[in-house]
Amino acid sequence: MRQEDRSSLMSEDLAGLFRGELRFDAVAKAAYASDGSLYEVTPLGVAAPLDRDDLTVLCRYASEHKIPLVPRGAGSGVAGEALGEGLIVDLSRHLTAVEAVGESSVRVQSGVVLADLNRAIRATGRYFPPDPSNVLVTTIGGMLARDSAGSHSIEIGTTRDWVQSLEVVLASGASFEARSTPLTEINSAVPGRPTLSAPEAAILPQLAWLLRENADLIVKWQPATLKVNRCGYRLRDVLDRDVLNVPQVLVGSEGTLGFFSSATLRTRPLPLGRAVVLLEFKALEPATTAVTLCQKESLAACDLLDRRLLGLSREVDRYFETLISPDAEAVLILEWTTSSPQSALAAARNCLANLRDQAVNCRVLIETTDETDMARVWSLAQRVVPLLNQIKGNARPVPIVEDIAVPPAALHEFLLDAQRVLQEYEITASMYAHAAAGQIHLRPFLSLEVS
Ligand SMILES: Cc1cc2nc3c(=O)[nH]c(=O)nc-3n(C[C@H](O)[C@H](O)[C@H](O)COP(=O)(O)OP(=O)(O)OC[C@H]3O[C@@H](n4cnc5c(N)ncnc54)[C@H](O)[C@@H]3O)c2cc1C
């Protein structure tokens, strides 16, 4: 069937059933043909469901007519995850309610933006801790689907670690609340029994069986020692002796296992004491040595920004232009969180003394416990990374080597190797690393023009 015929048939069929927006015009298709990646795929159309029931209607119809659906939040993913030739389902438009705030948890719809969520619950003295650097745009659904994490992952982990339960709408339109489910409930599952919903009764016994049968393979390929692994579904720690932790396998599934319409997330008390230090280095080697030494001091965050990013920050902000030397090769942003600002500062000073003792060549640009100053230091990373997309010219930073995982102890060796390869091919690159976690975003400057 021609695409135009298919879209007008869909519009007719869904009229009166689907209450949200359904668009097949060229403007909508162009707007959703790209995301934070370098890819471009024109979709069949775009749908924005009003709520879970609307999403269910859409899934049922799409499943019946074999139309691929692509969930989308803010569309900030850098690997083209929110693109596809089917119907893009924009959950950021209407599923934006913070539904309930509990003592230590919060129930949210998946289109809520992370910064809005934390603003909404701040008065309770708690927050939702995972912190990807694009906090102002990323949706909770996108974070769940990508298991997003940020600068503080060494202390607080990733999105997965903060999920209590998830409302999932499957491709068929069936939905259920995914939760940690006792095996006693699963083993006695009979469709229609009150303990398990029909979708759970159909899926969970098989899932538990698959995980049990392949336990050795899972341990072999997803060992506990591997801290960061973005390849495939997370199967480790899903099944234990008594419980099947269903959200664990769903988080990070990048829209391939179902839609998340709502989630119950755990929250954490706002830290009582924080201290932030900004260190400048004239070479990369002492910066990576500092990462290794500082890790011994119970750090909450340790980010490394290279010369390219610092150049950008100096261009866009007078404050950073004055603060950071033009010949700086790297900076480290270090943070400690403890029970009081005084003890956090003491931990920071302890670490700096250690760096001095070990003769690590660096300059302390900022050492602070002041909230405004700390926010300013962190804005360095938050502002400068998106600016990479705006660089003009033939060769641009291309996000194709994202989220590489390197054991932190091997960071220096990795950087030397990467530099050697880049030099061999005469390519420059920018680097932003959650250094203590060993997670690196390396963007080679490449010309994508076809000659
Ligand atoms: C400047 C910049 C900085 C970034 N910094 C970080 C960082 O520090 N850490 C990090 O981890 N990532 C980072 N990212 C990558 C990415 O933006 C984040 O992972 C973000 O959390 C994705 O959320 P989103 O709402 O934009 O999702 P989208 O890009 O819209 O979607 C991402 C994936 O989630 C799926 N999805 C979206 N919503 C749902 C839903 N409700 N149900 C099921 N599937 C869904 C999509 O199909 C897709 O597979 C960054 C990206 C940019 C451009």
Mutation test residue for ligand 1: of 134, 151, 152, 403, the one with most atoms within 8 Å of CB: 134
Predicted local confidence at residue 408, as pLDDT: 80
* Secondary structure of residue 377 in the 3-state scheme: helix
Task: Name which of 107-111, 192-196, 284-288, 299-303 the model is least confident about.
Answer: 192-196
Tell me which of 268, 286, 311 is where a domain ends.
Answer: 268
- Are 246 and 279 contained in the same domain? no
- Domain match, 290 and 206 both: no
Say yes or no: 134 and 49 in one domain. no
Listed in order, strand segments (DSSP E) in 345-400 are 363-368, 395-397
**43 & 134 share domain:** no
pLDDT tens per residue across span 204-214: 999 999 999 99
Instruction: Report residue 330's pLDDT band, with 50, 70 and 90 as the boundaries.
Output: very high
Shared domain check, 409 and 345: yes
- Find the domain containing 415 and state its range: 273-447
In tens, the pLDDT along 23-55 reads: 999 999 999 999 999 899 999 999 999 999 999
Which ligand 1 atom sits nearest the alpha carbon of residue 388?
A: 1
- The token pair at 402 is 């994202």
Residues 426, 282, single domain; the answer is yes
CATH number at residue 77: 3.30.43.10
- Residue in 313, 428, 450, 293 with CA at minimum distance from that of residue 377: 313
Looking at the fold, whether 117 and 255 belong to one and the same domain comes out as yes
Are 423 and 370 contained in the same domain? yes
Q: What is the pTM of this model?
A: 0.93
Nearest to 24 by CA among 113, 116, 86: 86
**Mean pLDDT of the region 283-292:** 91
| The predicted structure's pLDDT at residue 226 | 75
Considering 268, 289, 319, which residue would you say is the last residue of a domain? 268
* Cβ–ligand 1 contact at 133 (below 6 Å): yes
Ligand 1 midpoint to CA 176 (Å)? 23
How many domains are contained in the chain?
3
Question: Residue 39 C-alpha to ligand 1 middle, in angstroms?
Answer: 15
Nearest CA to 71 out of 40, 31, 32, 114 is that of 32
Residue pLDDT, tens place only, 48-94: 999 999 999 999 999 999 999 999 999 999 999 999 999 999 999 99
Do 328 and 415 fall within a single domain? yes
Residues 280, 259 within the same domain: no
Distances, alpha carbon 306 to alpha carbons 365, 368, 406, in Å: 16, 22, 17
Q: What is the mean pLDDT of residues 375-395?
A: 84
Q: Are residues 33 and 130 in the same domain?
A: no
Are 323 and 375 members of one domain? Answer: yes
* CATH of residue 173: 3.30.465.10
* Boundary (domain end) residue, out of 90, 107, 135: 90
Pocket of ligand 1, candidates 34, 35, 72: which has the most ligand atoms within 8 Å of its Cβ, to mutate?
A: 72
State the Cα–Cα distance between residues 243 and 264, nearest whole angstrom.
Answer: 18
pLDDT over threshold 60, residue 192 = no
